[in-house]
C-alpha cells in the first residue's frame, strides 16, 4: 500500500498537523508518526466532492487536511439548496463520525481549493489496532474526546433551540388565550 | 479495589447488560467480562443525584444501569426549572461524554428508584488500556460508535430546528414586508 510515510516530507507534516488543537491534540508527536504510517496521501482537485451526503459505500474513512480548504454542506429533507455548514482548513479532521459508525454520510465535503490530505480508512484503523494496540487505543481516546466535545456543543445548541421554542409557545399562548 | 467481579452474581449480569443494544453491543460477552473486572458496583438510594450538571470534580466516570431507573435533567441558562431530557433503565450507559472529555457534566442524573449500577472510572479505563490494550481498544471503539451515533441524531435534530427557523423567518418576512 502506498502509505503517506513513503512520501517523505508529507509524512512529517501530517504527523505535526495531527496533533494541532483542531485535530487530535492528545497524541504525542511520536504517536502521531505511528498513526501517519497507516494513512494514505491523496491529492484532490478543486471542486471535487469527495464525501457525499447519504453515501454508504465508502466503508468508512476520515480525512486530515494538510493543505487547502474544504466546504462541508448538507441538503436536508425540506431543502433543495445545500446549506454550507462550515469551511475547514489545514489541521482539520473530516469524517470521523462515519469512520466510527459506518452509517450513511451526514454531509457532503467538497474541495474548494486544490487539496492535499491524508486518509485513514476503517481497514487501516483496524490494522493499526491489531499491530500496535497501545497507539491505536490512544488514537481512539483522542477521536472519542473529539466526538464527546462535538456532542457537548450540539447538545448546548439543541437546548437553546428547545428553550426558544418554549418561549415562543408561551408568547403565542399569551396572544391567543381567550380574552 | 472492590471491583464488581468480587460480587459474583452482579458481574455476569453487568457483562450481559454491557452488550445489549442500548449499551456497547459491539463487544463479545468474553470482552464484556474483562471490562466488568474494571468496574465498581454501586447501590444508589432512590432520589439521590449522582451526577450534577456543571460538576467538574468527579474525574470522569460512566455508569451502567443494572437495575432501576435514572432521570436525566438539565437546567439551562434561561430556565429555573430543570427539564427532563430522558429516563433510562437497565442496560443504559450514562456519562460516557464526561468519561471521555472530562469537561463539566452537561446534565444531572438522579435515581428515580433504588438503583444498582456498575461504574467505570477514568482511572479504571486507563488501567484497562494499560493491562489489556486489545480489549481496551475494543471498548473505546464501542464507546466512539455510541458517541458518533448520538452526534448524528443530534445533528439531524439541529438541522430540523435550523430549517424551522428559516421557514418561520420567511413567514414573518411575508407578513412584515411593506404593502
Instruction: Give A117-127 pLDDT, tens digit per residue.
Output: 999 999 999 99
One of 3.40.50.720, 2.60.120.10, 3.40.50.2300, 3.40.50.300 is the CATH number of B4-176, namely 2.60.120.10
Residue A28 clears pLDDT 80, i.e. is over it: yes
Phi and psi based region of residue A10 (left: phi greater than 0; alpha: psi -120 to 50; beta: remaining): alpha
Which residues of chain A lie closer than 8 angstroms to B151, CB-CB? 97, 147, 150-151, 154
Per-residue confidence band for A168, with pLDDT thresholds at 50, 70 and 90: confident
The set of long-range contacts for A163-167, using a CB threshold of 8 Å and a minimum separation of 24, is A163/B76, A163/B77, A163/B78, A163/B79, A165/B161, A167/B78
Q: What is the mean pLDDT of chain B?
A: 84
A149 at the B interface (CB within 8 A)?
A: yes
Which residues of chain B lie closer than 8 angstroms to A79, CB-CB? 163
Asked if the Cβ–Cβ distance from B151 to A152 is below 8 Å, we say: no
Asked if the Cβ–Cβ distance from A136 to B133 is below 8 Å, we say: yes
At B1 the pLDDT is: 45
At B4 the pLDDT is: 55
Residue B179 clears pLDDT 80, i.e. is over it: no
B75 at the A interface (CB within 8 A)?
A: no
CA distance A73 to chain B (A): 12
Closest CA to A38 of A125, A116, A100, A102: A125
Q: Please report the number of interchain residue pairs, chain A to chain B, with beta-carbon separation below 8 angstroms.
A: 110
Q: Which of residues 102-121 of A touch B (CB under 8 A)?
A: 103, 106
Asked if the Cβ–Cβ distance from B163 to A100 is below 8 Å, we say: no
Q: Where are the domains of chain A?
A: 4-176
Q: How far apart are CA B11 and CA B17, in angstroms?
A: 10
CA distance B145 to chain A (A): 5
Interface test with B, best of A100, A130, A166 (most B CBs within 10 A): A100
Per-residue confidence band for B46, with pLDDT thresholds at 50, 70 and 90: very high
At B103 the pLDDT is: 82
- In B48-165, which ranges are E strands? 49-51, 61-67, 70-74, 83-88, 93-94, 108-111, 115-121
ipTM (interface pTM): 0.78
A67/B56: higher pLDDT: A67
Which residues of chain A lie closer than 8 angstroms to B162, CB-CB? 83
Instruction: Give A82-115 pLDDT, tens digit per residue.
Output: 777 788 999 889 988 888 888 888 889 999 999 9
At B178 the pLDDT is: 65
At A71 the pLDDT is: 94
At B3 the pLDDT is: 53
B170 at the A interface (CB within 8 A)?
A: no
Quote the percentage of chain B above a pLDDT of 70.
92
Asked if the Cβ–Cβ distance from A150 to B150 is below 8 Å, we say: no
A102/A44: higher pLDDT: A44
What DSSP string describes A26-65?
TS-HHHHHHHHTT-EEEEE-TT-EEE-TT--TT--EEEEE
Would you call A161 exposed, middle or buried from its count of C-beta atoms within 10 A (0-12, 13-18, 19+)? Answer: middle
A34/A159: higher pLDDT: A34
- Global pTM? 0.81
Closest CA to B62 of B99, B32, B92: B99
Instruction: Give B116-172 pLDDT, tens digit per residue.
Output: 999 999 999 999 999 998 899 989 988 998 888 888 888 888 878 877 777 777 888
At B177 the pLDDT is: 73
Q: How far apart are CA A34 and CA A24, in angstroms?
A: 14
Which residues of chain A lie closer than 8 angstroms to B78, CB-CB? 163, 167
Residue A149 clears pLDDT 60, i.e. is over it: yes
A31 at the B interface (CB within 8 A)?
A: no
At A1 the pLDDT is: 45
Instruction: Give A60-81 pLDDT, tens digit per residue.
Output: 899 999 999 999 988 764 566 7
Pairing between strand B40-44 and A93-94? unpaired
Which residues of chain B lie closer than 8 angstroms to A96, CB-CB? 148
Per-residue confidence band for B100, with pLDDT thresholds at 50, 70 and 90: confident
CA distance A109 to chain B (A): 16
Amino acid at each position: 500500500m502506498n502509505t503517506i510515510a513513503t512520501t517523505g516530507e508529507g509524512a512529517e507534516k501530517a504527523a505535526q498537523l495531527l496533533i494541532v488543537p483542531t485535530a487530535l491534540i492528545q497524541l504525542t508527536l511520536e504517536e502521531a508518526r505511528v498513526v501517519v504510517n497507516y494513512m494514505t496521501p491523496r491529492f484532490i482537485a478543486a471542486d471535487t466532492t469527495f464525501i457525499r451526503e447519504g453515501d454508504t459505500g465508502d466503508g468508512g474513512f476520515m480525512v486530515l487536511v494538510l493543505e487547502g480548504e474544504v466546504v462541508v454542506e448538507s441538503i436536508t429533507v425540506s431543502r433543495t439548496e445545500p446549506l454550507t455548514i462550515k469551511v475547514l482548513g489545514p489541521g482539520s479532521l473530516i469524517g470521523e463520525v462515519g469512520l466510527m459508525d459506518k452509517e450513511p454520510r451526514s454531509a457532503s465535503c467538497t474541495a474548494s481549493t486544490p487539496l492535499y490530505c491524508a486518509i485513514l480508512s476503517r481497514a487501516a484503523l483496524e490494522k493499526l489496532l491489531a499491530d500496535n494496540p497501545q497507539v491505536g487505543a490512544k488514537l481512539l481516546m483522542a477521536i472519542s474526546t473529539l466526538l464527546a466535545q462535538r456532542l457537548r456543543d450540539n447538545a448546548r445548541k439543541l437546548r437553546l433551540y428547545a428553550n426558544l421554542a418554549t418561549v415562543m409557545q408561551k408568547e403565542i399562548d399569551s396572544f391567543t388565550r381567550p380574552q
